[in-house]
Amino acid sequence: MKDSNYAKYIFFIQSLIDLLLIILLFFLFLNVQYSEKEEQLPTFLGLLEAHYKALILFLFSWFFIAGNTHIYNFTRYNDFIHIIRKLILQILFFAVIVFAVSGFKSAALFSYRLSLYFLLAIFLNIFVFRLIFFYLAKFNRHLGGNFRRILFIDENKNTHSFIQILKKQKDLGFINCGMFLADVSTDNEKKIYSFDCRRLKNFLQEQKIQIIFLSLNGKLALGYEDKIMDIASTNHITVNFIPDTVYDNFSSMELAYYDTFPILAFKNFPLDNIFNQFIKRTFDIIFSLFVIIFILSWLVPLVALAIVLDSGNPVFYNQQRIGLNGKSFGCHKFRTMRPSKDNDIKATVKGDTRITRLGKLLRETSIDEFPQFFNVLKGSMSVVGPRPHMELQDSYYNDLIHRYNMRHQVKPGITGLAQVKGFRGEISVDTDMIKRVTADIYYVKNWSFLLDISIIIGTVFKVIMGDKQAV
């Protein structure tokens, strides 16, 4: 989307705030440095004369790094995790400059300890201002400010789902001006218009459309896409595309150049990177050890006793599920069902008679999943990832849902994005599973350590409050 005057205004305000914050904190920490060394504190002009070169270097470095981390790219599509991820990257690169200058400068600047506090102070202050900006912008769009007038052309099986998302999330700031469709009668009241290139041109100008959402593989005749692109280009209108399936190949591809010739190549997923794998595995080991030592050490005996008193042995239930690269593994759980030959082939439904009295409570609080931290420690699962499915269930949906197997690109998790988004519980229709898989594939393509942390925090809230979707 082309930059609007609003985006430029936000860019200017955020840049100015960051500039003033860095200058203010620079002189504040210089005061602390002189005080700790018990040296006479110069006047402000004296401080400026002694350290202006370091200040200029800091400011120049900050904005040079910002050009590469894109921390000032403010769009309505970004969630706060993306914003914080960019800010952390910015601080890490800026830290190299700060520590280098502090180490090489002959006159007193910052000790290494103060340098660390200086960076932390910058991060926390900018974090707060970004948080305020983020929610003020969402609130402003929710009230009708900074909106974009949009038009839908053609339709596929995802078009109306996307329209409903935009309708619910008013904070995205879109005004739907209608749809141009093939083989329909014009209905002005419903804002549905029969597709015609001449009518489209007039409509775009009259309604001052800013964005066109064009549905791929729709009902328009072949060749119309090029005409629509030409019309949009002539009127300086942005065109976005709604894929026929949310798992289309092009969403996982990037443009590469051989000399000057463009070639589409598949992107690597974040967890294909060895360093990211190391970060995630290290966190899994530390987190699972913490839970096993400080929670499961006393929780297992208590739950085991309760299960035995409620429905007898066994205490644990080990079920074969599908994990990384489609390989089967034994997934550990506290037993919540009465023994039955259907337990390995039939998914749980609401009011399932196989669930014991205690089992219902364990499922609602997610306590039945806690033994899976042993799976995490062994390496067959991760703390966060797509939830593993039963073998028969996995086989069924693999044939039904396109790109279903992409969820096997990462280790399955005790909790996942789909669960935090509310796509948990009974699968009464196939669309219930499609929603889960959509969230899982988003996770595979957009993994970050911050995303994992946010999912864990969301899961903790659901455990505390109780999850109504649990069955």
Q: What is the mean pLDDT of residues 85-100?
A: 92
pLDDT of residue 1: 42
Q: What is the mean pLDDT of residues 427-432?
A: 73
Residue 108 pLDDT > 80: no
* CA distances from residue 147 to 3, 5, 59, 401 in whole angstroms, order as listed: 13, 12, 34, 35
State percent of the chain over pLDDT 70.
Answer: 89
Q: What is the band of 350 on the pLDDT scale with cuts at 50, 70, 90?
A: low
Q: Which residues contact 374 (CB under 8 A, 6 or more apart)?
A: 288, 292, 332
Residue 2 pLDDT > 60: no
Residue 465 pLDDT > 80: no
pLDDT in tens, 258-288: 656 766 666 778 998 888 999 999 999 999 9
First to last CA, the chain: 43
pLDDT of residue 62: 95
pLDDT in tens, 176-234: 999 999 888 888 888 999 998 999 999 999 999 999 999 888 888 878 888 898 898 88
Helix axes 80-104, 44-69, angle to 10 degrees: 130
pLDDT of residue 405: 87
Backbone angles phi, psi at 242, to 5 degrees: -100, 115
Q: What is the band of 10 on the pLDDT scale with cuts at 50, 70, 90?
A: confident
Range of lowest pLDDT (147-151, 253-257, 452-456)? 253-257
pLDDT of residue 91: 95
pTM (2 d.p.): 0.69
pLDDT of residue 94: 95
Instruction: Answer with the residue of higher pLDDT: 245 or 9.
Output: 9
Q: Which ranges in the chain are annotated with CATH 3.40.50.1980?
A: 148-244
Residue 343 pLDDT > 80: no
Nearest CA to 161 out of 435, 358, 457 is that of: 435
Residue 105 pLDDT > 60: no
| CATH no. for 148-244 | 3.40.50.1980
pLDDT of residue 218: 87
Instruction: Give the 3-state DSSP-derived string for the chain, with helices as H, strands as E and coil as C.
Output: CCCCHHHHHHHHHHHHHHHHHHHHHHHHHHHHHHHHCCCCCCCHHHHHHHHHHHHHHHHHHHHHHHHHHCCCCCCCCCCHHHHHHHHHHHHHHHHHHHHHHHHHCCCCCCCHHHHHHHHHHHHHHHHHHHHHHHHHHHHHHHCCCCCEEEEEECCCCCHHHHHHHHHHCHHHCEEEEEEEECCCCCECCCCEEECCHHHHHHHHHHCCCCEEEEECCCCCCCCHHHHHHHHHHHCCCEEEEECCCCCCHHHHEEEEEECCEEEEEECCCHHHCHHHHHHHHHHHHHHHHHHHHHHHHHHHHHHHHHHHHHHCCCCEEEEEEECHHHCEEEEEEECCECCCCCCCCCCCCCCCCCECHHHHHHHHCCHHHCCHHHHHHHCCCEEECCCCCEHHHHHHHHHHCCCHHHHHHCCCEEECHHHHCCCCCCCCCHHHHHHHHHHHHHHHHHCCHHHHHHHHHHHHHHHHHCCCCCC
pLDDT in tens, 222-232: 788 888 988 98
The pLDDT mean for the chain works out to 86
State percent of the chain over pLDDT 90.
Answer: 41
From CA 265, how far away is CA 469, in angstroms rounded? 40
pLDDT of residue 3: 43
pLDDT of residue 129: 93
pLDDT in tens, 293-321: 999 999 999 999 999 999 888 999 998 99
pLDDT of residue 468: 59
